[in-house]
Amino acid sequence: MGAAVGAACRGLLDYKTEKFALTRNRRVGLLHRLLQLSVLGYLLGWVFLVKKGYQETDSAPHFSVITKLKGISVTEVKDAGNRLWDVADYVKPSQGENTFFLVTNFITTTKQAQGIKTGKCVMFNTTHSTCEIYSWCPVENDTVPRKPLLAEAENFTLFIKNTVNFTKFNFSKCNTLQTSDPTYFKSCTYDPFFNPSCPVFRIHDMVEATGETFGNLALLGGSIAVYIKWDCDLDHPAAQCQPQYSFSLQDRNYNFRTASYYWDPQKRHYRSLLKLYGIRFDISVHGQQAGKFSIIPAAVSLGASIALLGAATVVCDLVLLYLDSKADFYRKEKFEEAKPPKGKAEAAA
């Protein structure tokens, strides 16, 4: 028992050094090269080209969004007469917000007056009776026009000004083209291929980009999300840092009511009720990030890849020493106990 413990204690002081043995095993050699090429492809293709693992990133910049709609429409309604609509009428809330509502259709109920709650039970028809209650009379009109009354809204334009500031790199960028031409933004329209630097969008194009048609959406309203994505590589010129826009239909049938109140010459209280249908726009900046070369993430990515190369050798060793048909032979060749000369060995014992 004592001898066994002593041998175990002496084994703790043994030092194992690697022995390199050249093996003519084409299958394992091919596996080794394939694993090395895979690691190299992962390093160059995924880590460096796709993920840009050599860059430090800033994924929490500061940003601002300012909007402005332009356009004029005239509607002709039997009870309400002709009416001119401008931005003060068809944009709710007022200009400048990143969430707003564009009126495209409406139902009007004019000259409503409050009724009086009498508490009386009156005949509703020949078979039913009802109680009189407070109400605005006449009752609300619920007949939806067959076509959107503000059909011209599809040609309205929306100006979106978005500024992003990556504070980590002291870099800021605006989505508007830096130009000295004061008429540029009055005549340009955004096009992802021919005019990507113009932040003026036609309402018709925005609706079409969601896969819907303006005529269908304008009739009963809906909701559209506008996404602005910044993904900037600051190792390249700043001019290449451009936003990407995308549009998504979120909901259909969007409406709300509003009323204007007035008194007639006889001091009677009236209101005109409007049920407004339209398109709600929600503009958000998402996925924004910027990257720039830094020695620390580059070293970390390179070190991880070198470690994977070492793992490829370990995998091949396991295959060679335990799974190959000649595994016993390779183990004997790889593992060898180096013994000192006989006289010294006896003295050491």
CATH number at residue 223: 2.60.490.10
Give the per-residue pLDDT at 6: 63
Q: Between 318 and 337, whose confidence is greater?
A: 318
Residues 73 and 213 in one domain: yes
pLDDT band at 2, cuts 50/70/90? low
Q: How many domains does the chain have?
A: 2
Check pLDDT > 70 for residue 342. no
Give the least confident one: 84-88, 96-100, 259-263, 324-328.
324-328
- For residue 261, is it left (φ>0), alpha (ψ between -120 and 50) or beta? beta
Structural domain contains residue 7: no
Gap between the Cα atoms of 210 and 82, Å rounded: 32
pLDDT at 347: 52
Whether 271 is covered by a domain: the verdict is: yes
Do residues 61 and 230 touch, judged by C-beta distance below 8 A? yes
162 within some domain = yes
Same domain, 48 and 144: no
In terms of domains, do 228 and 336 share one?
no
Nearest to 91 by CA among 146, 158, 140, 162: 158
Q: What is the pLDDT of residue 10?
A: 64
Q: Report H helices in the chain.
A: 2-12, 26-41, 87-90, 184-187, 203-209, 214-220, 295-318, 327-334, 342-348
Token pair listed for 272: 């005109």
Q: What is the pLDDT of residue 257?
A: 92
pLDDT at residue 42, rounded to an integer: 87
> Nearest 5°: phi and psi at 45?
-80, -55
Residue 95 has pLDDT above 80, yes or no: no
Residue 176 pairs in a beta bridge with none
**Co-location of 107 and 211 in the same domain:** yes
For residues 98-127, give the mean pLDDT. Answer: 82
**CB-based contact 319:29 (threshold 8 Å):** no
Q: Is residue 140 part of a domain?
A: yes
Residue 4 domain-assigned? no
Residue 307 lies in a domain: yes
Does residue 133 register a pLDDT over 90?
no
286 part of a folded domain: yes
Handedness of CA 211, 250, 101, 190 (dihedral sign): negative
Asked whether residue 136 falls in the same domain as residue 285, the answer is yes
Q: What's the mean pLDDT when you consider all of the chain? A: 84
- Taking the whole predicted model, whether its pTM rises above 0.75 is answered as no
Q: Give the whole-angstrom CA distance, residue 313 versus residue 295.
A: 27
pLDDT per residue over 172-225, tens digit each? 999 988 887 878 888 899 988 888 889 999 999 999 999 999 999 999 999 999
Question: Is 179 found in the same domain as 131?
Answer: yes
Q: Domain range for residue 142?
A: 61-292
* Short-list 293, 288, 65, CA closest to 166: 288
More confident residue, 94 or 51: 51
Matching residue, tokens 């050094």: 17
**Are 222 and 208 part of one and the same domain?**
yes
Residue (of 156, 29, 134, 184) closest to 87 by Cα position = 156
Look-up: residue for tokens 């190299």? 40
Are residues 38 and 82 located together in one domain of the fold? no
Asked if residue 9 is part of any domain, the answer here is no
Q: Verify that 256 and 225 share a domain, yes or no.
A: yes
The arithmetic mean of pLDDT across residues 262-275, rounded, is 90
Tokens (6 digits) for 75: 């509607």
Q: Are 315 and 287 contained in the same domain?
A: no
Between these two residues, 4 and 41, which has the higher pLDDT value?
41
